[in-house]
Amino acid sequence: MAGNKGRGRASFTFNIEAIGFARGEKLPDVVLKPPPLYPDTDYKPVPLKAGEAEEYMLALKQEFRATMKRTPYFMDTEEEKQEIERYSKRYLKSYKEDDLEWVPDWRRLPREMMPRKKLTKAGPKHQKTKGTAKVAKVMSTVDVLKKIEDLEKKGDEEKSDEETDEKEGGKGKRKDDDDDEDDEAADEQEEYDEEEQEEENDYINSYFDNGDDFGAESDDNMDEATY
């Protein structure tokens, strides 16, 4: 009830003796922060069991882990293809046991698990067109370089005409790509974007004079000494 002995005086709402503190005794400090991340332990842990069974199980565990890594069930993230084959990698051949790709029993799995078939049908046709488009692109750049070398000064206009022709041919093929790519998986879009970005602008590569030719031209006249 109204048992407080005066306002402003610190007192607990319960009998302090009930939890074991004598009256007037110093109460333990209040903890103001979370417990430490690596607390000290007064008692050190008991050593591990060591016996034949334990050692055998340890060996089993480590072997099991190593064997799992070699099964076809282990899906590693694909490492980026290294351009140079490192010598050290040669001796670190990882033996993939069961070289055959594991094929699950499709009867036991839901039908949506099977890899889509329609991709393969569109694949060869699309790849062919893409291949030719790419080849055409490569060819066109090689052609450009050749033509810069051979028909250096004369036939600038000729060159640009041929450029635009090939470019239009390339663009036509690109339109085919568009149609095929409507139902493509996402991972093939990267290549497509690359292609598109490179040929998006209408600038004719050789027409843009960024000053490189200037240096090349001046080199030709290096026969004469400069003072």
Partner 1 sequence: MTQAEIKLCSLLLQEHFGEIVDKIGTHLIRTGSQPLRAVVHDTGTSLDQVKKALCVLIQHNLVTYQMHKRGIVEYEAHCSRILRILRYPRYIYTAKTLYSDTGELIVEELLLNGKMTMSAVVKKVADRLTETMEDGKTMDYSEVSSTFCRLADTHFVQRCPLVPDPPESADAQPPPPAPTLSINEKDMYLVPKLNLIGKGKRRRSSDDDAAGEPRPKRAKQTAESKEPIPDDGIYWQANLDRFHQHFRDQSIVSAVANRMDQTSSEIVRTMLRMSEITTSSCAPFTQPLSSNEIFRSLPVGYNISKQVLDQYLTLLADDPLEFVGKSGDSGGGMYVINLHKALASLAMATLESIVQERFGSRCARIFRLVLRKKHLEQKQVEDFAMIPAKEAKDMLYKLLSENLISLQEIPKTPDHAPSRTFYLYTVNSLSAARMLLRRCYKSIANLIERRQFETKENKRLLEKSQRVEAILASMQATGAEEAQLQEIEEMITAPERQQLESLKRNVNKLDASEIQVDETIFVLESYTESTMKRA
- 162, amino acid identity: E
Considering the complex, what minimum distance in angstroms separates the CB of residue 70 from partner 1? 10
Residues 137 and 177 sit within 8 Å (Cβ to Cβ)? no
Residues 70 and 99 sit within 8 Å (Cβ to Cβ)? no
Coil, strand or helix at 6: coil
Considering the complex, what minimum distance in angstroms separates the CB of residue 102 from partner 1? 8
Nearer to partner 1, 50 or 84 (CB): 50
76 binds partner 1 (CB under 8 A): yes
CA distance 20 to 11: 16
38 binds partner 1 (CB under 8 A): no
Interface region with partner 1, contact rule CB under 8 A, candidates 52-60, 131-139, 144-152, 201-209: 52-60
104 binds partner 1 (CB under 8 A): yes
220 binds partner 1 (CB under 8 A): no
203 binds partner 1 (CB under 8 A): no
User: Within a 13 Å sphere around the CA of 23, how many CA atoms are in the beta-carbon half?
Assistant: 3
Element counts in the chain: helices (H) and strands (E): 6, 0
**Angle at CA 224, nearest 5°, toward 222 and 227?**
95
Nearer to partner 1, 114 or 135 (CB): 114
Interface region with partner 1, contact rule CB under 8 A, candidates 64-72, 147-155, 165-173, 206-214: 64-72
In the chain, alpha helices (H): 52-70, 87-90, 118-150, 156-180, 189-199, 212-220
117 binds partner 1 (CB under 8 A): no
Nearer to partner 1, 150 or 193 (CB): 193
Sign of CA dihedral 154, 157, 159, 160: positive
Residues 102 and 68 sit within 8 Å (Cβ to Cβ)? no
41 binds partner 1 (CB under 8 A): yes
Indicate which single residue of 27, 37, 48, 84 sits in contact with partner 1 (rule: CB under 8 A).
48
Kindly list the residues in this chain that would bind partner 1 in the complex (CB under 8 A): 12-15, 18-21, 28, 41-43, 45-46, 48-50, 53-54, 56-58, 60-62, 64-65, 67-68, 71, 73-77, 88, 91-93, 95, 99-100, 104-105, 107-113, 115, 185-187
